[in-house]
Amino acid sequence: MRHILNFFLQYGVFGLLLLTIVARNHGNYLIYVVAAAAGSTIGVFVLDLVCRNGGEAGLKRVVKPRLHSYLKAKMERHAAVVLVVACLAPPPFPFGAAIAVASALQYPRMRLLTVVFLARTARFLLVGWSAIAFGPHILRIAKSPEFLWFMGGFIALCLIGSVIEITHWVRRGK
């Protein structure tokens, strides 16, 4: 079970999905990689729209103050490097927080989207390569009862957490 948890945390949900798809069908590997990178970039664009308009004041509701000040200091000196690291690092690295801070600090949108697309493409190329290299092992893990139970539990935990958070937001708004 420990190996399944480490595997999941290393690749994240979308990396795991890409691993499974590429492991089953190597022929369209590059199409899957570009689609995954484009999807991630579209998500960043939406986050950028929200955070850019909210500015630093809006970040205080989304990003913890300590993380905000740390990322802001790093972004002011080496924004592109921070973004590349955020794009390449596996979960639980605060990818969304890094994007939110960059957007709130008015990092140029086209540069942000370009850096994210290129870095995510590199990440997904590595994930896809590992799927080709270790495909049979990955599929065996994905079909195991332990993994299915783990994913079911994880999905249930996410749903419960979402309900609790939405309830908290609704009550705080009144």
How many distinct structural domains can be found in the chain?
2
Residues 121 and 153 in one domain: no
Q: Which of 65, 64, 75, 121 is nearest to 98 (CA)?
A: 75
Does 151 share its domain with 109?
A: no
Domain match, 71 and 26 both = yes
Residue 10, pLDDT score: 42
Do 99 and 148 sit in the same domain of this protein? no
Does some domain include residue 150?
yes
Same domain, 105 and 153: no
pTM of the model: 0.70
Average pLDDT, the chain: 81
116 falls in which pLDDT band (50, 70, 90)? very high
In a domain, 107, yes or no: yes
* 17 and 77 housed in the same domain: yes
Going by pLDDT thresholds of 50, 70 and 90, the confidence category of residue 41 is very high
Which of 28-33's residues contact partners 24+ apart within 8 Å by CB, and which partners?
A: 29/128, 29/132, 32/124, 32/128, 33/121, 33/124, 33/125, 33/128
> How many Cβ atoms sit within 10 Å of the Cβ of residue 44?
25
Q: Are residues 106 and 74 in the same domain?
A: yes
Residue type (1 letter), 137:
H
The amino acid sitting at 22 is V
How many Å apart are CA 19 and CA 17, to the nearest integer? 5
Please give the pLDDT value at position 12. 58
> How much is the average pLDDT of 36-64?
83
Residue pair 119/44 in contact (Cβ under 8 Å)? The answer is no
Q: pLDDT at position 13, please?
A: 60
- Asked if 156 and 127 sit in the same domain, the reply is no
> What's the rounded mean pLDDT across residues 103-117?
92
Residue 70 token pair:
């740390």
Q: Could you count the other beta carbons within 10 Å of the beta carbon of residue 71? A: 24
Greater model confidence, 15 or 47: 47
pLDDT reading at 140 higher than 60: yes
Asked whether residue 90 is domain-assigned, the answer is: yes
Domain presence at residue 139:
no
Same domain, 158 and 129: no
Q: In which domain, by residue range, is 80 found?
A: 2-134
Is pLDDT at 112 greater than 90 in this prediction? yes
124 exposure class (CB count in 10 Å sphere: 0-12, 13-18, 19+): buried
Q: Do 83 and 169 lie in a common domain?
A: no
Residues 81 and 27 in one domain: yes
Residue 8 shares a structural domain with residue 69 = yes
